[in-house]
Amino acid sequence: MTDNNHSANISGLQFDWDLQNGKFLFEQEDAVLFWITSAMKEFFDTIEEISGEEASTLVFEASGYRQGAVVGKYFEDLKHVKVEEAAEMITSTYAAAGWGYAHIEDLDMESKTLRVRLKDSWEYKINKAQGKKRRGNFLPAHYAGIFSMFFNENVWFEIKEDQLAGAESTVIEYFPSNVTISENIHALSRKKESQQILQLEAMVEDKTRDLKELIKQISSPIIPVLEGVVVVPLLGKYDQERAEELVFNTLSKLPSYQASYLVLDLTALDDDIDNLTTSLLEKISGAASLIGTETVLVGLSAKLSMTIAESGINISDFHCFQTLQHGIYYALSQQGKQII
């Protein structure tokens, strides 16, 4: 052994250092050492900061399970080693590697169940340094991966006691289950997708609500142009909600303007109007007449006039003019007034 090479055998486990090449070997395999409550804590904190608590929990859980499956597969390939012996070897090996105390209890090969008791594990120390109230799932999932290989059947776990929550040790029960890491990953992906869809739907609803409010504010304003005469321009296309809003706003404000004439300007109305819009004209005119206001239609194109006539509305019931100017002149003349 040179100054650059050191070896130690502790409880049957081999440790070797090759300082010249920067190697540390544990049982003839490359290994690495980290400080638990500083370097490893920063590693865990960074993953949680980037991924978020829910996703990072699944990352640690999936990593622990898959690493455990690798360990389980290694011992499974050693045909001469029984499961009980392999379990004891694993816990002893992990203790030597600084993983804390671990003990396998009530291992039942027939029911494929067991209990694992952990105390002062590296994960517990990291979680404690992080100030967490609930332990992580790396080590519980790790043993699930190990025994899934041993039993040749998917095994999952339930934490019965938690050292981080004040128990003397962490106790985990294992049993055959349909729960798998892949399903958990897919479930989180679907949950994230659903959350994104809900967020998008909420955004659409908010924008739609804002747009409707804006339309209400700018759509069909009531314009008192002269004494006794108000103008309401009809814009675009009307659905049931817009139509009802127009009728309500117009009729509720007409009395305050003491309007004798309501001039409906159809210049900006779509030529391709439907029955809802034509019935709106009839409805607003009929309601206005009940409060003593006469309705005048202006801005009718030839196509729009034909559409209104074909709808069954008697166009002769209205005073119709081609331009807004002519409609206002008519309303003033009926009141014995004129623009000078």
Cβ atoms of residues 222 and 250 within 8 Å: yes
Using alpha carbons, list the distances in angstroms from residue 77 to 67, 80, 83, 149, 223. 16, 9, 11, 10, 89
Identify the pLDDT of residue 69.
Answer: 92
**Total-model pTM:** 0.57
**What digits encode the pLDDT tens for the residues 10-31?**
878 888 998 888 998 988 889 8
For residues 340 and 17, what is the distance between their CA atoms, to the nearest angstrom? 108
- Please give the domain boundaries of the chain with CATH numbers for all domains: 34-179 (3.30.1380.20), 219-334 (3.30.750.24)
For residues 54 and 187, what is the distance between their CA atoms, to the nearest angstrom? 12
Identify the pLDDT of residue 314.
Answer: 75
Q: Which residues pair with 233 in a beta bridge?
A: 265
Identify the pLDDT of residue 217.
Answer: 61
pLDDT beneath 70, residues of the chain: 1-2, 185, 187-198, 214-220, 271, 340
**What digits encode the pLDDT tens for the residues 72-120?**
888 877 777 888 888 998 998 899 889 999 999 999 999 999 999 999 9
Q: Which pair of structure tokens corresponds to residue 230?
A: 């108000």
For helices 138-151 and 53-76, angle between their N-to-C axes, nearest 10 degrees: 30
Using alpha carbons, list the distances in angstroms from residue 249 to 154, 217, 289. 67, 11, 16
pLDDT averaged over the chain? Answer: 85
Q: 3-class DSSP state for residue 268? A: coil
For residues 69 and 313, what is the distance between their CA atoms, to the nearest angstrom? 80
